[in-house]
Structure 1
Amino acid sequence: MDEGGKRMEESMNVALDIDAKDDHVSKKEETRNIDEHEKDTMVKQKTKRIATLDAFRGLTIVIMIVVDKAGGVYPSIDHAPWNGCTLADFVMPFFLFIVGVAIALALKRIEKIKYAVKKIMVRTLKLLFWGILLQGGYSHAPDDLSYGVNMKFIRWCGILQRIGLVYCVVALIETFTTKLRPTTLTSSGRIAIFKAYKWQWFGGFIAFLIYMITTFTLYVPDWSFVDHVIGDEPKRYTVICGMRGHIGPACNAVGHVDRQVWGVNHFYSHPVWRHLKECTFSSPGEGPIREDAPSWCRAPFEPEGLLSSISAILSGTIGIHYGHVLIHFKGHSERLKHWVSTGFVLLAIAIILHFTNAIPINKQLYSISYVCFTAGIAGTVFSALYILIDVWRFRTPFLFLEWIGMNSMLVFVMAAQGIFAGFVNGWYYEDPNNSLVHWIKKHVFVNVWNSERVGTLLYVIFAEITFWGVVAGVLHKLKIYWKL
């Protein structure tokens, strides 16, 4: 077995949230033909983290910070208004891919199923709690210094909630099939690993069926909503539907399911479809809604809703497959051939579905073509990082990504969700805009470069990404990690 195979052989703890500190491998030399005395004296070697997975997780966090903080001035990297895929649209599926890989490593061996299930459920509840707290509307950071949420309008769904759901389903399948899956592959060939983990793929196939059948057969009736515009009298609008199989913004089954389950008041209030040409003259950027815009342009929409989260289970399923390949294929060449070929097949499926208009790539609906496209890209990027970090040993240039990846929950909360900037903004002079964060962004970056776009981008690179990379590196040296 080569050094890369030894280093990345397995993970011993149950790990799956976005910081996943438990993503490491325990190296244990096993010999079949040794006596009982030798078995008793075997010593576990020191555990090591998976550098590629940490770097990939860190890269995803970095992308998230860039698109969140700079997407307003660079619409081309912000979420696609409807069909299509931009840089921002890779963040969620990359997270779910990472979760899948981490589950495969963490649950390679399970001694007590009840204990594993308990840990899975507890961690799922933690993810749901933090998701609602951070994205439910309670926190108004970083610019609005108020806090609190009207429970009539609390948002129940979000990034961490979707991660929690996907993690729970994929991890439970992996746990309950522990006695049905092999420790080693008994036959060679690329198909063997699919057969060995057929129950994981069966779970993904069930999610696929539920999503496809519901999306294309569920009847969507007319629906209405109240537009609560600050300073204006609330106005009720009605969207005329009465159809099936619609995959446009107005009458899709994804939105209908969420309206029935959560209620329209609990949706994300500024959906990205407002950037469409039908809705604003500022398209593809954000701007005031046109007076002649269709009524649905003013409606809320939940991009992390229930039906689309069921489709997102497939992203986790594909990720866990890559983790299984990492476990069973010991050579670099074997792993990379399987990963890259799988990624190319997924990309081919996505491109065919999209450009034939059969099923367009759409993040808001989490369409099947979107699942395949983003998973294919995730697999390709993961393979590239594996070559650079674990095959060619170019680890030093990616250390800052590893540091962020090892403490990604901290960076997600403090940077991506703006909690740290909101705290700093709370210390201002005379006016809330006279705070350290605003001063640095305006005087150190925007005014120096005399450009809102360039200044914002440089602020994100140095005051956000570089700053938190250094913080994560210091915390790593101190062995301090925030995990769920």
Structure 2
Amino acid sequence: MDEGGKRMEEGINVALDIDEAKDEVMKKQETTNINGNSSIDQHDTDTVAKPALVKQKTKRIATLDAFRGLTIVLMILVDDAGEAYPRIDHSPWNGCTLADFVMPFFLFIVGVAIALALKRIPKIKFAVKKIILRTLKLLFWGIILQGGYSHAPDELVYGVDMKFIRWCGILQRIALVYCVVALIETFTTKLRPTTLSPGRIAIFTAYKWQWFGGFMAFLIYMITTFTLYVPDWSFVDHVNSDIPKRYTVLCGVRGHLGPACNAVGYVDRQVWGVNHLYSQPVWRRLKACTFSSSGEGQFRDDAPSWCLAPYEPEGLLSSISAILSGTIGIHYGHVLIHFKGHSERLKQWLSMGFVLLIIAVVLHFTHAIPINKQLYSLSYVCFTAGAAGIVFSALYILIDVCRIRTPFLFLEWIGMNAMLVFVMAAQGIFAAFVNGWYYEDPNKSLVHWIKKHVFVNVWKSEKVGTLLYVIFAEITFWGVVAGVLHKLKIYWKL
């Protein structure tokens, strides 16, 4: 697939493109199956030396594309159907729902993609330049799409008050993890082994610096979370009432893992400022805040003041913890590179996936460290990374071992144009464009008409109609669009 393109595997198309090295004379080439599709299970074979100016074709990894596409589909589903089905939306605090797998799955993809894209680095300075440039692109798009400038898809306005701009977000977190993990991979390129030494932990010791980077991120997060003193703090509520009102939250604690007084929120308030945090945190759906839990509803009269406060789910300290998700992902990519047989790869992947799940379950149910997406706790990292490894292994078995590829083609198409679908569908830019062409009233647009008359009214249910609208008018539609763009060899990458 994509035989003519030179596009390496990437988490939301962020992996480094290293195909510009023209003077590499000996290449390892992946063989193709009888249908001409790329396969990642074949043994590498030595090829005949090519002239220096002849560019080699690179093969995409079908399983990685499908996994990336699955994550995008999952994001669209939980973002647009989560209001109708709160149980699939983000967990208000402790626990893990379907929506809580999206971010760590993206970071897992980033890690796998970096390992594959940076197998060979002819020029370290050139690689570092590309990494920094793509990091800046991700930061730029993240601020544009989630900083408050874009009000898509419902409000036909744009612009943001810089006093309240949100500096953090999904792409910003991906940018940080990508930058750190990719730079470690780049600067340790001369320390990599060509072959692994015997032993069960050889794959870990061979890439000890990558694991050291992940361990340092873990150490910084854990020490800060459990030792940083969190004082009382105040905020002004600009969202829930016509007249801004100031509230004070009483803390004065260390190592607190609740919503109001944790170190993760304190670091973000100190670094970014309370006005630059996400103004609609999911903790508003907690029972302490509303009788409508786990959905959103009117605040209780006796709700604590922090229910009205902003909180950044993609903040600085939690993003440092997220580096460990990328580190685990890059380990899966290293296994893919060094182990050539299906059974060897699956043994490494599945064993690590189940070990991570066990660690997470033990930490959560012993109440040592609860699974918590908002804090990006260690148990959350282990649980979601373990799940990512198992899902990735399952797709590998279906697509590359059993050759059942056709049912997953639409996921591959979305995965190959993940950035486009993310911006247009998940961030609602295309829907906002269509909503801009309305008749008499902004609510009388094609998007609103389709959702109301084709889905909700037909099924006589707001919940079922919303779910079917998301499945067919968004996910299926963009799967078809991505397939057409793939046939035309049109891709959007950073």
TM range (shorter): over 0.9
Aligned partner of 1:368 in structure 2 is 378
Contact 2:217–2:321 (8 Å) recurs in 1: yes
Q: Tell me if the contact between 2:9 and 2:60 (Cα under 8 Å) persists in the aligned partners.
A: no
Residue 27 of structure 1 and its aligned partner are, at CA, apart by 4.4
Give the counterpart letter for 1:202 in structure 2: F
1:85 correspondence with 2:79: no
Q: Would you say how many aligned residue pairs link Structure 1 and Structure 2?
A: 470
CA contact (8 A) 1:227 1:236 kept: yes
**Counterpart of 1:264 in structure 2: which amino acid?**
V
CA distance in structure 2 between the partners assigned to 1:133 and 1:260 by the alignment: 23
Range moving further from structure 2, 23-32 or 334-343: 23-32
Choose the corresponding residue for 2:449, options 420, 425, 439.
439
**2 CA distance for matches of 1:448 and 1:272?**
31
The answer on 1:70 being equivalent to 2:81 is yes
For residues 53-64 of structure 1, what are the structure 2 equivalents within 5 Å? Answer: 53-64=64-75
Give the deviation of 1:22 after TM superposition. 7.0
Q: 1:182 Cα deviation (Å)?
A: 1.1
Distance 1:168 1:353, change over 3 A: same
Counting only pairs closer than 5 Å after superposition, residues 237-386 of structure 1 correspond to structure 2 as: 237-386=247-396
Partner residue of 1:206 out of 193, 203, 216:
216
- In 1, Cα distance between equivalents of 2:144 and 2:463: 31
Q: Name the SS for the 1:338 alignment partner.
A: helix
Letter of the 1:18 counterpart: I
* 1:261 CA drift (Å): 0.2
Structure-2 residue corresponding to 1:3: none
Match of 1:217?
Answer: 227
- Partner amino acid for 1:422? A
Q: Does 1:107 align with 2:101?
A: no
Measured in 2, the distance between the counterparts of 1:235 and 1:116 equals: 50
Counterpart-to-counterpart distance in 1, 2:17 and 2:79: 26
Give the direction of change, closer, same or farther, for the CA distance of 1:31–1:294 in structure 2 (3 Å limit).
closer
Per the alignment, residue 177 of structure 2 pairs with 166
Offset of 1:47 from its aligned partner?
2.2
The AA in structure 1 aligned to 2:232 is D
User: Superposed, which structure 2 residues align to 1:38-53 within 5 Å?
Assistant: 39=49, 46-53=57-64
Compute the displacement of 1:290 (Å).
1.1
Q: Distance in 2 between matches of 1:80 and 1:40?
A: 54
1:39-82 Cα offsets, whole Å, 9 max, x none, are 46798763211000000000000000000000001011000000
The answer for the alignment partner of 2:402 in structure 1 is: 392
* Shift, 1:189, TM fit: 2.9
Cα deviation, residue 311, structure 1: 0.1
Partner of residue 427, structure 2: 417
Relative to 1, partners in 2 of residues 1:393 and 1:44: Cα closer, same or farther, differing over 3 Å?
A: farther
2:444 aligned counterpart, secondary structure:
strand
- 5+ long unaligned stretches in structure 2: 20-26, 31-43
Q: Cα distance 1:268–1:352, how it changes in 2: closer, same or farther (>3 A)?
A: same
CA contact (8 A) 1:21 1:481 kept: no
Question: Gapped runs of 5+ residues in structure 1?
Answer: 1-6
Alpha-carbon RMSD across the aligned residues, in angstroms, is 2.0
Tell me, yes or no, if structure 1 residue 193 matches structure 2 residue 194.
no
Question: Out of 228, 231, 243, which is 2:238 matched to?
Answer: 228
Aligned to 2:29: 28
136, 150, 157: which one aligns with 2:168: 157
1:130-158 deviation per Cα after TM superposition (whole angstroms, max 9, x unaligned): 00000000000111111100000000000
Q: Deviations over 1:139-193 (max 9, x none)?
A: 00111111100000000000000000000000000000000111221x1232000
| Residue pairs, 1:115-126, within 5 angstroms | 115-126=126-137
SS at match of 2:443: strand
Tell me, in whole angstroms, the C-alpha distance in 1 between the residues paired with 2:49 and 2:484: 40
Deviates more, 1:167-176 or 1:282-291: 282-291
Return the offset for 1:229: 3.1
- Would you say the 8 A contact 1:279–1:297 is kept in 2? yes
Q: Secondary structure at the match of 1:237?
A: strand
Q: In structure 2, what is the Cα distance between the partners aligned to 1:421 and 1:14?
A: 30
Identity of aligned residues (%): 84
The answer as to whether partners of 1:20 and 1:406 remain within 8 angstroms in 2 is no
Using a 3 Å threshold, how does the CA distance of structure 1 residues 23 and 405 change in structure 2: closer, same or farther?
farther
Contact 1:14 / 1:116 at 8 angstroms: preserved in 2?
A: no
Residue 230 of structure 1 deviates from its aligned partner by 5.7
Q: Report the alpha carbon displacement of residue 232 of structure 1 after superposing the two structures with TM.
A: 1.7
Equivalent residues of 2:411, 2:479 under 8 A apart: yes
Alpha carbons 1:14, 1:107 under 8 Å: kept: no
Distance in 1, Cα, partners of 2:375 & 2:322: 10
Change in 2 beyond 3 A, CA 1:90/1:214 = same
Q: Which residue of the partner structure matches residue 4 of structure 1?
A: none
Contact 2:11 2:68 in 1 (8 A): no
Q: Is the 8 A contact 1:13 1:107 kept in 2?
A: no
What TM-score does the superposition give when structure 2 sets the normalisation length? 0.92
- What one-letter code is carried by the residue in structure 1 that aligns with 2:143? I
1:14, 1:119 within 8 Å by CA — same for their partners in 2?
no
Secondary structure of the corresponding residue to residue 49 of structure 1: coil
Q: Any conservation in 2 of the 1:57–1:98 contact (CA below 8 Å)?
A: yes
Check conservation: 1:23, 1:105, Cα contact below 8 A: no
Instruction: Measure the CA separation in 2 of the matches of 1:24 and 1:463.
Output: 37
**Over residues 430-478 of structure 1, what are the superposed CA-to-partner deviations in whole Å (9 max), with x where a residue is unaligned?**
0000000000000000000000010000000000000000000000000
CA distance in 1, matches of 2:269, 2:466: 37
Kindly provide the CA deviation profile for residues 205-261 of structure 1, in whole angstroms up to 9, marking residues without a partner as x: 000000000000000000000001365210000000001000000000000000000
**2: CA distance between counterparts of 1:231 and 1:361?**
33
- Secondary structure class of the residue paired with 1:48: coil
Deviations 1:285-311 (A, max 9, x none): 011111110010000000000000000
Q: 1:470 to 1:40 in 2, by over 3 A?
A: closer
Q: Distance in 2 between matches of 1:112 and 1:41?
A: 19
Give the Cα separation in 2 of the matches to 1:203 and 1:40. 37
